[in-house]
Structure 1
Amino acid sequence: MFNNLAIDVALGLIFIYLLYSLLASILQELLARIFNTRARLLTKGLRRMLEDDDHSTELGVFGRFTFFNWIYELGWSVVYFFSPFYRSPFLKKFYAAPAITFLGENSARARPAYLSPKTFSQTIVHLLRSSNNDTYDTDSAALKAALLHNQLLLPPATRAHMEQLFEDAGQDVKQFRILLEDWFNETMTRTSGWYRKQTQTWLLVIGLGIAGSFNVDSIAIARILMKDKTVREQMVQLAASRNPGYTPITDTLIRKNMLHRDSAYYRQDTAIRIFVTDTTLIGVYAQLRNDAGEARNVLGISRQCVQDTSSGRLIIRCGYTHPYQQNGWLILAGWFITALAISLGAPFWFDLLGRVVKFRTTVPPNSTTTNNGQPQQLV
């Protein structure tokens, strides 16, 4: 069995990062549900497809610079947050279609967070076919006339692309739907990437908040684990006792629900996917907070407020009690390191913790095992 200082310090730090990464993931998921971010990003992806959503031309020469584009797009994100269909008439018609409207959970969450390629292509075909007042012998003729006369007021680039897809399909409606679904899948792949980037940004911001509020100073924690054998052993025991309980949280709650690469938009097993209630999330959050408090007690890192009356007035001063937390800049650096670690996500630290635990419990090559199962060094 490998059991040395470096491994135990690494094990303690990895457990701390896993614990607070899980806490941050739960908070991020609760915020995602409150602000309905999955549905908003799905709308953003559809807007990119159906509304020629490119504002860079409005910036003129400044549109060549990434920084100005980022600021400008951030402003438009605020506009779309409050008015998702602003300057998007066709997108509004798309969401008003019965096949899309009835997918919403309720009036507060009228827009769906998940959409299948089949529903997308079917809705587009229905909108094109119903836009004609005239009667046509075939659906192909109706779609061709709809694209030609553009009674739906499709944006120029979107209309041109649909016309090309219709011609590529040989003006066959079934093949046209297949090409629409391929287009949708390709766009949703990009949108899933946007969601992962947004999730990592949220985890970084939440991680900074957690590090500051819980005083998770990576530098101080590493120094404590290296210097104090008792704390190190207690932390290893805490990690060993809590790790099995974190398996269902990481695997079921986070991997299969929150952070699945396509979970924000579409999965083939949507009908049987596991839906986690808000009550469950709050219960898991309470459990993780208790574990965080226990870990903080083991490490002995805390804030303390004292009353100062030396000046004749009652002044309450709050500070850090641990001797390893006397330098404010080092504390900030420790918090920032913690936030960066949290932004990597709980699955990363869960897998790494499993590898370290397995390595730590491995019998070294130069040892054998006694009858009671304890490793015995070979002479």
Structure 2
Amino acid sequence: MNSVYIDLAIGLVLAFLLFSLLLSGVNEGLVRLLGIRSKFLWAYLKDTLDGREGRKSIPGTIAEVFAALPFRRDERPAYSPQPPPVHSDATTWTGRLYERLREIDHDKDGRTSIASIPPVRFAIAMMEIVTSEGGVPAMLKKLEESGSPLYRPLKGAWDTAHGDLEAFRKAVEDWFDGEMHRLTMLYRRYVRWVIAALGLVLTLLFSMDALEYGRAILTDNAIRAQVTAIAGGGAQSLDSLRDKCPDHPADPYGCVTEVLSAPAFVQMVGHAPVSVRVPDGGSPQWSWNGGEWFQRLISPGHWPGFLITFVALLFGAPFWWDILRRLTGIRVRAGENAK
């Protein structure tokens, strides 16, 4: 009996893991296709280095992350394979920063694809700009004259460093590290809502009823147990299977083979508007299940299962992978854990 519950738990966890991975893949595909992560970073840098005279480039609402940010005016600098120039000809502080980051960049539709700047690399880039501007005081004066929001944090870092360039560089690095942490948390908060929306769409698209799936797993186990029990009982023992296999009255074993060749997980993903079936020795057969799919959506009996599936997907693939490891005893090597 314990093995039945273990099979049920593993089956549910594995299904939630696979669909969570699918959800993460869809989200990551959209992010990369639209360049959202890179645009998010450079919108922040534009606001922080140059200012926007009261108008913010960084998204102010959740809807702007996927609805406005990908399609409005791109704030990212144009891609350039050239090395940093000796004398900058950039007209903005964001442009001057990008000149120092070209070596870690690659082209993305004519724009920079940099989506993450290590704090150490940012601090080094700022020190290179300091040198080209004739020192920290001279650069601070230009930042103040241009109305750059970067003036105040750098002025505070310089005052704290008491004229020590190494201490100033370290202070700039620590400040930017904190800003990147804050920006990452903001980005994740926005994307969490996007993932929730995608999770809802995925749940409804496949009409994934977790309760129905659990019952299907138990049914598979029951059929296996019944076949095992009657395997040595002779032909008269097959009568109980014939009632369950009206399509195979003369060959109940063939019915069992067909049922077990379409396990619970296959049945779970088979309720989408379009499904595919691969018959023995034949080519895949596509079929339209729009009517059945819609009836499942409007059936109150499936709503609790949909809700459980939706909530489970919100936990994410790492959570379900950890649960699966604990249930199955899968061990991860120390080197992989370190990564």
Q: Shorter chain as normaliser: what TM range?
A: 0.5 to 0.7
Match of 1:176 in 2: 168
Q: Distance in 2 between matches of 1:26 and 1:341?
A: 16
For the pair 1:84 / 2:107, whether they are aligned, the reply is: no
Q: Following TM superposition, by how much is the alpha carbon of 1:349 offset from its aligned partner in structure 2, in angstroms?
A: 0.5
Match of 1:204 among 186, 192, 196: 196
Rounded Cα–Cα distance in structure 2 between residues aligned with 1:149 and 1:207 = 48
- What 5-or-longer segments of structure 1 have no aligned partner? 58-68, 133-141, 234-292, 306-315, 360-379
Q: Distance in 2 between matches of 1:71 and 1:53?
A: 20
Once structures 1 and 2 are overlaid, which stretch shifts more, 294-303 or 110-119? 294-303
Instruction: Choose which of 139, 143, 151 in structure 1 pairs with 2:136.
Output: 143
Q: Counterparts in 2 of 1:172-321, with a 5 A limit?
A: 172-226=164-218, 229-230=221-222, 296-299=265-268, 301-302=270-271, 318-320=290-292
The correspondence of residues 108-127 of structure 1 with structure 2, limited to 5 A, is 108=109, 109-127=111-129
Counterpart position of 2:12: 13
* Inter-partner Cα distance in structure 2 for 1:221 and 1:348: 20
In the other structure, the counterpart of 1:37 is: 36
Identity of aligned residues (%): 23
Give the match for residue 106 of structure 1.
107
Aligned to 1:312: none
| Counterpart residue type for residue 37 of structure 1 | I
**Is the Cα–Cα contact under 8 Å of residues 94 and 100 in structure 1 kept in the other structure?**
no
Verify the 8 A CA contact 1:51 1:91 in the aligned structure 2: yes
Q: How many residues align?
A: 264
Give the AA of the match of 1:21.
Answer: S
| Alpha-carbon distance in 1 for matches of 2:289, 2:64 | 44
TM-score, normalization by structure 1? 0.57
Are the structure 2 counterparts of residues 54 and 182 from structure 1 closer, same or farther at C-alpha, using a change threshold of 3 Å?
Answer: farther
- Tell me the SS of whatever aligns to 2:107: coil
Partner of 1:352: 323
Q: Secondary structure at the match of 1:3?
A: helix
TM-score (norm: length of structure 2): 0.62
Q: Which runs of 5+ in 2 are unaligned?
A: 78-90, 226-261, 275-287, 331-339
Summarize deviations over 1:279-316 as a string: whole Å, max 9, x none.
Answer: xxxxxxxxxxxxxx9754355853689xxxxxxxxxx9
Shift in Å at residue 176 of structure 1?
0.8
For residues 125-178 of structure 1, the C-alpha deviation after alignment (integer angstroms, 9 at most, x for no partner) is 33344345xxxxxxxxx32122134477242x4312211211111122221111
Report the counterpart of residue 254 of structure 2 in structure 1: none
Distance 1:294 1:210, change over 3 A: farther
Q: 1:232 to 1:120 in 2, by over 3 A?
A: farther
Look up the equivalent residue of 1:153 and give its one-letter code: S
Alignment partner, residue 334 of structure 2: none
Cα distance between partner residues in 2 of 1:3 and 1:327 = 35
In structure 2, how many angstroms separate the alpha carbons of the residues matched to 1:340 and 1:180?
41
**Take 2:124 and 2:195, find their aligned partners in 1: how far apart are those partners?**
37
Match of 1:248 in 2: none
Contact (CA 8 Å) 1:42, 1:113: kept in 2 or not? yes
1:119–1:151 Cα change, 3 Å: same
For the 8 Å contact 1:216–1:338, the answer to whether it is kept is yes
Is the 8 Å Cα contact of residues 117 and 184 (structure 1) preserved in structure 2?
Answer: yes
Aligned-residue offset at 1:71:
7.0
Does the 8 Å contact 1:128/1:152 carry over to 2?
A: no
Shift of 1:357: 2.8
Q: Distance in 1 between matches of 2:67 and 2:21?
A: 32
The letter of the residue matching 2:102 is: T
Measured in 2, the distance between the counterparts of 1:152 and 1:230 equals 78
**Contact conserved, 1:55 with 1:73, CA < 8 A, in 2?**
no
Letter in 1 for 2:271: S
Question: In 1, are the aligned partners of 2:130 and 2:136 still within 8 Å (CA)?
Answer: yes
For 1:180, what is the secondary structure of its paired residue?
helix
Residue type of the alignment partner of 2:321: F
Taking a change above 3 Å as real, the CA distance of residues 126 and 3 of structure 1, as seen in their structure-2 partners, is: same
Higher-RCO chain (CA-CA 8 Å, sequence separation at least 6): 1
Report if the CA contact (8 A) 2:62-2:190 is conserved: no
